[in-house]
Chains A and B, each alone.
Chain A
């Protein structure tokens, strides 16, 4: 299935949870904030969200800024 992560379409196996998708994309997940189809999902809930074809995922974190 195709999922758009941070604006880029990527291919994943069917039936993944948000947790599994994030772990495939990132080595470390601390300080990562996730949005699933425009809704913020708290990290303890990542494993309860199933991701479907066409879903939009945004993964953000802290960077340097003034």
Chain B
């Protein structure tokens, strides 16, 4: 016989997020850029319980010795190295090759950008890089502009997820591309959809999850907040709340009222 507690857990249980055969119970991914100090980052990772964080690769500043960011990321957190700085597929491939040599895994977030004002990803070059790197055995998570044809090509090229932008990187504008992301959620069923970029508040993250995104990645909103660890926790809670909202099959919106209390048996009738 089941206890009440077990029944309750079963009714609210989510399935894990699976990326390339690896399971995750937390659907909030955290970017590690722009934190005022590395301790804020470590506290934020702990507060939100994220299991995947993004990092970048850069030339070492030989004049200023800084502690490596990896010292602040727990070993059980999956590292997703981005290819930021790449302006075409070839440069993204080179960054991926460098990242692999670090011995920190083969998860790559492809980010190919050659527009410095809007930082929009170049879908064509992203598809090319995805094809090359998946063939080489990388786990490829491409950042992209939400376009159905490009998303299909990415899946065909071997992408482990598709990561459409919510709005411009670092803009905190939320899911401006909502209707296009909805199409991806509806049509791209083989890999998870992770909404990346522009998510500026927990409510926006919840909105993405409620419409059926599989996960959300945020960076700027956490790193630039007055209390990064607090907002990181709020993001993780919002992502979970949004996810349960999606799974619960919410009733549709209506234009007229529908009473919540019975409309019969009034006391003075």
Contact = CB atoms under 8 A, between A and B. Distances in A.
B58 A66 contact: no
Contacts of B34: 64, 66
B204 interface: no
Interface stretch (B96-104, B182-190, B256-264): B96-104
Contacts of B79: 62
B41 interface: yes
B68 interface: yes
A66 B54 contact: yes
B58 A61 contact: yes
Contacts of B51: none
B65 A27 contact: yes
Contacts of A13: none
Contacts of B62: 5-6, 8, 25-26, 59
Given A7-B59, A40-B97, A42-B101, A61 B54 contact: no
Contacts of A30: 68
A65 B111 CA distance: 11
B220 interface: yes
Interface centre among A6, A32, A58, A63 (most CB of B within 10 A): A63
B84 interface: yes
A63 B217 CA distance: 17
A3 B4 CA distance: 71
Contacts of A60: 57-60, 98
Interface string A31-52: 1110100001010000000000
Contacts of B59: 6-7, 58-60
Nearest to B59: A6
Contacts of B219: 66
Given A5-B62, A6-B62, A65 B98 contact: no
Interface string B37-62: 00001000000000000111111101
Contacts of A64: 31-35, 41, 55-56, 69, 223
B70 interface: yes
For the complex of A and B, the 10 pairs showing the least CB-CB separation, nearest first, are: A65-B56, A66-B31, A66-B219, A64-B32, A64-B33, A6-B59, A65-B33, A66-B33, A62-B55, A59-B60
12 contacts: A28-B68, A31-B68, A40-B101, A60-B57, A61-B68, A62-B69, A62-B79, A63-B55, A63-B58, A64-B55, A65-B82, A66-B197
